[in-house]
A and B are shown apart, each in its own frame.
Chain A
Amino acid sequence: MDFLTPLLGGVALLGDPVVWLAVLAGTLFGVVAGAMPGIGTTLAYGLVLPFTFVMSPIVGVAFLLSISVGVGYGNSIPAILMGVPGNPAAILTVIDGHRLHKEGKSGLALGVSFVAALGGQLVSILLFVLLVVPLMGAAYHFSFPEIFGLYCFGFIALISLAADNMVKGLMSAALGISIGLIGLDPINMVTRLDMGVREIRSGLDDVALVIGILALSELFRSARQVFQWQDKSGETAGSKFPKWAELKPAVPSIVTGTVVGTFVGAIPGAGATPAAMISYQTAQMLSKEPEKFGKGSVEGIGANEAAQNASNSGELIPTLGLGIPVSGSMVLLLAALTVQGFVPGPLMVKNTPELLFAAIAGLMASTIFLMLTGWGMAALMLKAVRLNRQVVIVLAIAMTLVGVYSINTKVFDVFVAIGAGGVGYFMLRYGYSPAAAALGVFIGKEFERSLRIGLNMNDNSFVTFLSRPITAIILLVAFGVLAWGVMKRLQMQRRIAALAAENGH
């Protein structure tokens, strides 16, 4: 496949009104969800996942990705207007954006964030296609040992998602992997750890588990407090879209942020936060006014927002190119495709390029839609902030449970999701990473399967298995990325701590 085919395929899908309808619904939902503090892409995916089961895979993928774009745009609102970072990546938007808001320049902060988010998103789609096509070309050379190597890459994401305490992160991953492995052994088909319970002889439902761990846990944690989001909001009236002269200084940092965001987003486990941090630092180094960073810099907002949104496309590179989900929301995207009958792996998109076209169509259409209507939707986002927080939490829990039930119409799955949500709540409260556990549920099974079947195919010899050229190269790169990731992670933790101490967040 050449570079233009996926782009043209994506554009061709935009002729389908059903795709547009799904994209419009997804983008609107994403913007509203993103505007509510604490509701990120993962939780938003969890809420609407059941609707994708009745959509065609193409429409479902476009729908989910349009939500990511909407959330990416919408989540700058609480960061700028309330000083509440909905996710760790938004801390830097708070620092510069909320400062501008306090100075009465809400329109400038929101305008730069709008342009950066959409500009970053649109350009990163081209970079995504440029990087994913070569990966797809390599897919036919992959057998079980090579796929095992790729899952080792996935395990890097587990370690990177390990929150602040590496030991607790590894424990979270081990918990997720072992829960995911309950059920039938991939070689002998003997049952494992089913405890004599008939319902779990063939394993627990992955989607119910992942929704419980990622979405319900966060909702249970939110229920600890009662307040209204608008209590934290400031005066927002009279915000006008800034003039070109005011936006112009942010353009170079938006370009830098887009490139950094796409590449860093593609690294397993890296995601939006390191992308935003690296982009912010790069923009500060290249800026003519580095002293303004942290004190209401439009370049800072541009770099951060562009990188966060570009990382959406970056995360899709390993997810669709190799079948390795690299974040909580990507786990849910693959879960949705699994329910549709797709088998995650390097051949998934190779055999069904329409999924890639759908991803491109979803990202493009939602970005275009937001470009045309996004600024006008600011009023809608401000209304979302005024919704009753307690009612939203309760209805979101109810919606999630109905969604889980609708997967297999089994109440047992609802119990599984609630149990996983309760465990996830504990994990969130005590510093264990639910994202690492969810990723463990999803990739542990395939990791073990590809290792054991791969060994069987290679005369049960570890030497033959590991010395296959592509496997060896992937494993070497994986270990290299792991070492680099651990080093960068330690640096980033120090930087976040310093920034938080400086700004009192």
Chain B
Amino acid sequence: MDRRIDFAVAACFSLLGVFMILAASGIKSGMMRDPIGPRVAFYVCGAVLALGGVAVIVGHLRRWSGQKDHIVPSEGGDDEAGFPASAKRAWALILAVLGLAALWNPLGFLIAMPLFLVTALWIMGERKVWSVIMIALLFTGIVYLIFAHVLGVRIPVGPFTPLFRSLGWIIL
């Protein structure tokens, strides 16, 4: 498998390392002095990331140029053989998850979670509309009951807040 994107990932790590070293140089020393200080750990980690990234790129280039057709085998976790894989699906799901987090407070759990579940199941190829809706509503209801009423976790409910407060389900 040709994994040229490995270069980009290694370069990102390397740049992150350089950024970390630069950012750490701005950390204040504080009043109490010790032989190590508050910056050294970041300098070391930054250097490992920066130099490691360069080492990965150089090693990859060497193997790449030495291989027939410039193909470098993947070092990452393999997908299940025999089933097509889609990076777009994974990224769409991550975006949906970010959407859930963004809507968690404004819309409340009881609206944001079913919306997320329907979207996520759609992304994952589930097309049975009624079963998807039922799964979303049942899961949301059960999880809300367990976390909010059994475990006592304060979960935002958005527009339902006045109603739940009048019913005595929310005290604050």
Residues of A within 8 A of B (CB): 50-51, 53-54, 84, 163-165, 167-168, 170-171, 173-175, 177-178, 181, 185, 187-190, 192-193, 195, 216, 220-221, 223-227, 232, 388, 390-391, 393-395, 397-399, 401-402, 405-406, 409, 411, 414-415, 418, 421-422, 425-426, 428-432, 444, 448, 451-452, 455-456, 460, 462
Contacts and interface: CB of A to CB of B under 8 A. Distances in A.
Nearest to B120: A394
Contacts of B41: 177-178, 181, 444, 448
A421 B101 CA distance: 13
A184 to B, nearest CB: 9
Contacts, number: 199
Given A168-B52, A418-B94, 18 more contacts: A167-B52, A171-B13, A174-B17, A174-B46, A181-B42, A185-B38, A192-B27, A216-B97, A224-B85, A224-B90, A227-B83, A391-B121, A397-B120, A415-B98, A418-B98, A428-B77, A430-B75, A456-B34
A188 to B, nearest CB: 3
Contacts of A185: 27, 30, 38
Q: Chain A interface secondary structure, helix, strand, loop or mixed?
A: helix
Interface of B: 3, 5-6, 9, 13, 16-17, 20, 23-24, 27-32, 34-36, 38, 41-42, 44-46, 48-49, 52-53, 55-56, 59, 74-77, 79-80, 83-87, 89-90, 93-94, 97-98, 100-101, 104-105, 113, 116-117, 120-121, 123-126, 135, 139, 143, 147, 151-155
A399 B38 contact: no
A402 B48 CA distance: 35
Main SS class of interface, B: helix
Nearest to A38: B80
B62 to A, nearest CB: 13
A193 B27 contact: yes
A187 B38 contact: yes
Contact of B45 (A178, A187, A395, A460): A178
A394 B135 CA distance: 11
A171 B94 contact: no
Given A171-B49, A395-B139, A224 B86 contact: yes
Given A168-B52, A418-B101, A452 B124 contact: no
14 contacts: A54-B152, A168-B75, A174-B45, A177-B45, A178-B20, A178-B41, A185-B38, A188-B31, A188-B38, A398-B143, A425-B94, A428-B76, A431-B76, A456-B34
